[in-house]
Amino acid sequence: MRRRTTLGGLGAMVLLELTGTRRAMADSIDTKGNHMIIVTVEVEFENDGIHEKRDAIKAMDEATAMEEGCIAYKSSFDATNPRILRIYEMWESMDALVPHFKTRHMAEFQAALSGLAAKGMDAKVYEVARELPFPN
């Protein structure tokens, strides 16, 4: 985790990853294709205040899971560092993901987490062409 920030808008930060400095790369992505999108977000907070926001996290998980095009949306805390929140998302396509950042529940989630100080955030977006069988 590289940068220090105040968490006024987790979704806004992820959206910047999608539309800001990485826009040139995103332009080359087939947003109309059938490729699944996987998003991973990891935020380390300055203190344990994030645990007071469990209801907001749960509400975000539940509302997002109901969005059209959302395959999975799960949040969890790190087992060795409880100040780290991880969000794992699977979407049918980039076209399904982008509207997620403008939903009411995203705005409510951002409002609930506003003011929390974060040591840093790492957000990644992956385009997946196919799923392989698990090697066992």
- Give residue 23's pLDDT band: very low, low, confident or very high (50, 70, 90): very low
Q: What is the full DSSP assignment across 50-111?
A: GGGGHHHHHHHHHHHHTSTTEEEEEEEE-SS-TTEEEEEEEES-HHHHGGGGGSHHHHHHHH
Q: How many domains does the chain have?
A: 1
| Per-residue pLDDT, 130 | 85
| Per-residue pLDDT, 18 | 46
Is 76 a member of any domain?
yes
Is 134 a member of any domain?
no
Is 62 a member of any domain?
yes
β-sheet with 36-45: strand ranges across: 5-7, 116-128, 36-45, 84-91, 70-77
Query: What is the CATH classification number for the domain harbouring 80?
Result: 3.30.70.100
What mean pLDDT do residues 24-33 have? 48
Range of the domain at 122: 5-128
**Bigger pLDDT: 78 vs 130:** 78
- The structure's pTM equals 0.76
| Per-residue pLDDT, 136 | 87
